[in-house]
Structure 1
Amino acid sequence: PIVRMTHQLKTRTGRALYGLRKNTVEPVFGIIRHVMGFRQFSLRGLSNVTAEWSLVALAWNIKRMSVLRGG
């Protein structure tokens, strides 16, 4: 995988596809981690972690909607 990725990043098409990652979801995870301070889950178990992540995502969406509405 490392050799394949290195080769892909040397092509113009590969760099363009990889560059799209900056415009999609990765900034959201960075903001959740650095601005909102969510670095690790507090609960254990898949159902608990799923619920906790749903709350984090909900908080992010409410925060984003507030910013977009100007409030």
Structure 2
Amino acid sequence: EATPVERMAHRLKTRAGRAAYALRKQTVEPVFGIIKSVMGFRQFLTRGLQNVQGEWTLVCLAWNLKRMAVLRPA
């Protein structure tokens, strides 16, 4: 049994593994960067799982509304 780090290193040595890992750049990860840098959301202001889930829902709602405003037809 290989460790998770060893499995990932092996995966990144294969062409298919590198292609799958490269998809991260075009999927959801840039959104997290935008939420952190543009929207300034760096940490949760509440404590407790339920409260954090609610706060994250509001952050996602704000992001989605922002995207809808940008992408709406003229």
SS of the aligned residue for 2:50 comes to helix
Give the match's secondary structure for 1:65: helix
Give the TM-score taking structure 2 as reference length: 0.90
The normalised TM-score by structure 1 is 0.93
Provide the C-alpha distance between the structure 1 equivalents of 2:17 and 2:68, rounded to a whole number of angstroms.
33
**Once the two structures are aligned, what percentage of the paired residues are identical?**
70
Q: Deviations along 1:5-29, whole A, 9 cap, x unmatched? A: 1111011000000011111111111
Once residues 72 and 56 of structure 2 are traced to their aligned partners in structure 1, the CA distance between those partners, rounded to angstroms, is 24
SS at 2:41 equivalent: coil
Q: Shift of residue 46 of structure 1?
A: 1.0
2:36 alignment counterpart: 33
**Which amino acid in structure 2 is aligned with residue 5 of structure 1?**
M
CA RMSD of aligned residues (A): 1.2
Gaps of 5+ in 1: none
Alpha-carbon distance in 1 for matches of 2:73, 2:45: 32
Aligned-pair distance for 1:70? 5.9
Report the Cα offset of residue 53 of structure 1.
0.5
**Letter of the structure 1 residue corresponding to residue 27 of structure 2:** T
Q: Which of the two has greater helix per residue?
A: 1
Equivalent residues, number: 71
Q: Which runs of 5+ in 2 are unaligned?
A: none
Moved over 3 A (4+): none
